[in-house]
Chain A
Amino acid sequence: MTAKKKNRFVQCLPFYLMALPGIIYLICNNFMPLYGMLLAFKRLDVRKGIFGSDWVGFDNFKFLFSSKTAFTIIRNTILYNLAFIILGTAIAVALAILLNEIRSKKFAKFYQSVLLIPYLISWVLASYLAYAFLAQDVGLINSVLRFFGGQNINWYSTQKYWPFILFFVYMWKGVGYMLIIYYSSIVSISAEYFEAATIDGATKWQQIKSITLPLIKSTVITMVILNLGRIANSDFGLFYQIPRNSGALYGVTQTIDVYVYNALMNNNDFAMSAAAAVFQSVVGFVFILVANAVVKRVSKQDALF
């Protein structure tokens, strides 16, 4: 019996060896940082390390949540995500339906290709492009405003425009990606449905309402729920690079991720940044579990696990 067991282990040894680099990487990159989360409950003394530092219980969290910043960053993270999920999905689905109506294959490919270009560039470069529009003295928008006799707007220090700017930039960069997802879902609908409907005299609008939308519903719902599962996370690049980390804009641009970065790297405040990061991880965990459970009910094969 033991010989058999040993034999089996020898047989499986190559597989364990092949998995080893991956497992080591997961331990270093994903599991050891879990231990780093203890920082949120300690007052870090670098000489003593995480383990030796003094416990402070939930003091860091109390301090974080008694500040006004906590409310701002949580509100910003959630509201932007909701806007992106609701409006963003609606726009992307509408575009995908329109793209599917295009008869010319060449044009369809052209639109798809062009809309994907912004997705491929880094957020740093995206911030260069945004700067060309928004720069105080030389930006295109201010030149146009001046041309029509208006006043320069100091974009990088006026909060009220930023929810729109950020939404616009988000769509600009991400719509090509979402378009491809929904378009591929529409393309996979059997052409027979549309042919039959056309013969029966259905208009395009009727076909969209009664064929396309119902048949891509499960893809859309799945994507929405998975995105809701990530509602505590924000795209660091969008919220850090596009406003150029301008302090005057923090009220409407700072999300949890940006706060964590600034607290950690600029203020060296391990306590506050760790508390915010742990809060984000825990909330994110709860949301993604719920989201996955819901997806499982809607369309089983799209669930994460």
Chain B
Amino acid sequence: MTIKSKDTAKWQVISHTVLMIFALCALIPFLLLLSASFSDENSVMTLGYSIIPHKFSMDAYTYIATRWADIGRSYLMTILVTIVGTGLSMIITGMFAYTLSMDFVPGVKLMNFLCIFTMLFSGGVVGSYYIWSNVFHIRDTLAALIFPNLMMNAFNVILVKNYYQNSIPAALREAARIDGCSEFGIFWRIVMPLSVPINATIGLMTGLAYWNDWTNGLYYLTERNGSQYYTIQLMLNRISQNITWLASAAQGSGVTTGSVPTTTSRMAIGVIGLLPVLIAYPFLQKYFVKGITVGAVKE
């Protein structure tokens, strides 16, 4: 008995130690970012970023506040793109999956094949860049942030299709059909409400992908004509390449680049970008976990 409890205790110690080290490694970068953003510019210039500020200062945030117009606009843009993109995505994914779940409809096999084929073979970045920009002329429009790549993927379609087939009783649909409900009505009023779990899961993952996306903007928005559509990620990307961009983007603000606390405001803008995800995370955590397990092992 004592051997057994010793063994158990030993594994408790090992597990806690290892996981605690990993957890600290996961968190420390965020701490560093936060602390750097609250540091005094001069102390950072001489002593560097630190886990605890050498000298506390709000300068970075006061500076960023003068640029609030740009930051606020890019936030709104992120929210707009995320909501519109995710909404459209769920509707077209749901409807497509619904049709695919109907084995008796002629042509479903072909549609299924087309869908799966996209998971196996892709035209690659160059092909899709050429088509979206030279055929659909999506460059420097808001549509560039919504349509390419993110809106629907075969994997989600198949997940939803499987859910429809396994979790929604065919008898319910039959009953509604006999009562004279149209196919679209059945989908909208019976199938959709019963699919909340799968919709929440893939909706959240799609939403996260839209929120975090910066590649579409990198390809399709030029700085000259597309920067009014910059989302928060694209602004962060731009600033990371050139910290003075934020200062030069807005004219007549009275702030000269010379007095800009560049090293700390770079970190402060990172914190601003991070905040929404960290605030939403505790509420959405269990859905993220669900989304990952559903996506990894098909049901």
C-alpha gap A127/B273 in the complex (Å): 12
A-B pairs, top 6 by smallest CB distance, nearest first, are A36-B127, A22-B96, A33-B123, A277-B124, A143-B48, A33-B127
Tell me whether A35 and B289 are in contact (CB under 8 A): no
User: Which chain B residues border A146 with CB–CB below 8 Å?
Assistant: 48
Known contacts A115-B22, A305-B116; A15/B105 CB under 8 A: yes
* Whole-angstrom distance between the Cβ of A76 and the nearest chain B Cβ: 17
Task: Find out whether the CB atom of A18 lies under 8 angstroms from the CB atom of B22.
Answer: no
Known contacts A18-B95, A132-B267, A204-B10; 16 further A-B pairs (Cβ under 8 A): A14-B183, A15-B102, A29-B148, A31-B114, A32-B131, A33-B122, A103-B12, A113-B281, A121-B274, A122-B212, A122-B213, A124-B233, A133-B29, A143-B49, A143-B50, A305-B116
User: What secondary structure prevails in chain A residues at the interface with B?
Assistant: helix
Q: Can you report 13 A-B residue pairs in the complex whose CB atoms are below 8 A from each other?
A: A21-B92, A111-B22, A113-B281, A121-B212, A122-B236, A127-B240, A128-B273, A140-B48, A181-B297, A274-B124, A277-B125, A304-B116, A305-B119
- Specify the chain A residue showing the minimal Cβ separation from B89: A25
Q: Mark A205-218, 1 if CB is under 8 A from B, else 0.
A: 00000000000000
Residues of B within 8 A of A129 (CB): 29-30, 32-33, 270
CB proximity of A261 to chain B, nearest CB, Å: 7
B interface vs A, CB < 8 Å? 4, 7-8, 10-12, 14-16, 18-20, 22-23, 25-27, 29-30, 32-33, 36, 44-45, 47-51, 91-93, 95-96, 98-100, 102, 105-107, 111, 114-116, 118-131, 134-136, 147-149, 151-152, 154, 157, 182-184, 187, 208, 211-215, 218-219, 233, 236-237, 240-241, 263, 266-267, 270, 273-274, 277-278, 281, 285, 288-289, 292-293, 296-298
Which residues on B sit within 8 Å (CB–CB) of A237?
214-215
The CA of A301 and the CA of B299, in the complex, are separated in Å by 8
Q: Report the minimum CB–CB distance from A173 to chain B (whole Å).
A: 9
User: Is B152 a contact of A289 with CB atoms below 8 Å?
Assistant: no
Stretch of A67-75, A77-85, A94-102, A156-164 lying at the B interface = A94-102
- Our pick among A37, A121, A176, A305 for the contact of B123 (Cβ within 8 Å) is A37
Q: Given that A23-B111, A98-B15, A181-B293 are known contacts, is A35 also in contact with B51, CB under 8 Å in the complex?
A: no
Task: Tell me whether A265 and B219 are in contact in the complex, defined as CB-CB below 8 angstroms, given that A18-B95, A184-B293 are known contacts.
Answer: yes
Q: Provide the residues of chain A in CB contact with B7, threshold 8 Å.
A: 203-204
B contact residues around A26 at 8 Å (CB): 114-115, 118, 152, 154
**Residues of chain A contacted by B281 (CB below 8 angstroms):** 113, 117, 120
Question: How far in angstroms is the closest Cβ of chain A from B272?
Answer: 10
Contacts of A36 in B (CB 8 A): 123, 126-131
**What is the distance, in angstroms, from B64's C-beta to the closest C-beta of chain A?**
14
Report the nearest B residue to A127, measured CB to CB.
B240
> Is the pair B124, A122 in contact by a Cβ cutoff of 8 Å?
no
A77 to chain B minimum Cβ distance, whole angstroms, is 14
Contact between A128 and B266 (Cβ–Cβ < 8 Å)?
yes
Contacts of A32 in B (CB 8 A): 123, 127, 131, 135
**Chain A contact residues, CB within 8 Å of chain B:** 8, 12, 14-19, 21-23, 25-26, 28-37, 39-40, 46, 49-50, 95, 98-99, 101-103, 107, 110-118, 120-125, 127-133, 135, 137-140, 142-143, 146, 172, 175-177, 180-181, 184-185, 198, 201, 203-204, 219, 222-223, 236-237, 241, 244, 257, 260-261, 264-265, 270, 273-274, 277-278, 280-281, 284-285, 288-289, 301-302, 304-305
Interface contact A280-B29, CB-CB below 8 Å? no
Tell me whether B19 and A120 are in contact (CB under 8 A).
no
Q: Does A138 contact B122, Cβ atoms closer than 8 Å? A: no
| Residues on the A chain within 8 Å of B298, using CB | 301-302
Chain B at the A interface: SS class: helix
Q: How far is the CA of A8 from the CA of B105 in the complex (A)?
A: 9
Option from A30, A117, A288, A302 in Cβ contact (under 8 Å) with B297: A302
Instruction: Select one of B16, B92, B121, B296 contacting A25, CB under 8 A.
Output: B92
B19-A23 in contact (CB<8A): no
A residues near B102, Cβ cutoff 8 Å: 15
A25 touches B151 (CB 8 A): yes
> B16 near A22 (CB under 8 angstroms)?
no
With A and B bound together, what is the CA distance between A22 and B288 in angstroms? 25
The answer to whether A30 touches B106, judged by C-beta atoms less than 8 angstroms apart, is no
Contacts of B233 in A (CB 8 A): 122, 124-125
B54 CB → nearest A CB, Å: 10
* Set of chain B residues within 8 Å of A46, measured between Cβ atoms: 134
Contact of A124 among B16, B151, B214, B267 (CB under 8 A): B214
Which of A177, A273, A277 has the largest number of chain B CB atoms within 10 A? A277
Q: Is B136's CB under 8 angstroms from A28's CB?
A: yes
Given A131-B240, A302-B297, answer yes or no on A14-B182 (Cβ-Cβ < 8 Å). yes
Cα distance A77–B244 when bound, in Å? 34
Kindly list chain B residues whose C-beta atoms are within 8 Å of the C-beta of A123. 212, 214
Q: For residue B291, which residue of chain A has the nearest CB?
A: A180
B49 contacts A135, C-beta separation under 8 Å: yes
In the complex, the answer to whether B8 meets A204 with C-beta atoms within 8 Å is: yes
Q: How far is the CB of B187 from chain A (nearest CB, A)?
A: 7
In whole angstroms, what is the CA distance A185 to B128 when docked? 37
Bound complex: CA of A30 vs CA of B153, how far in Å?
10
Residue picked from B7, B15, B91, B121, most chain A C-beta under 10 Å:
B15
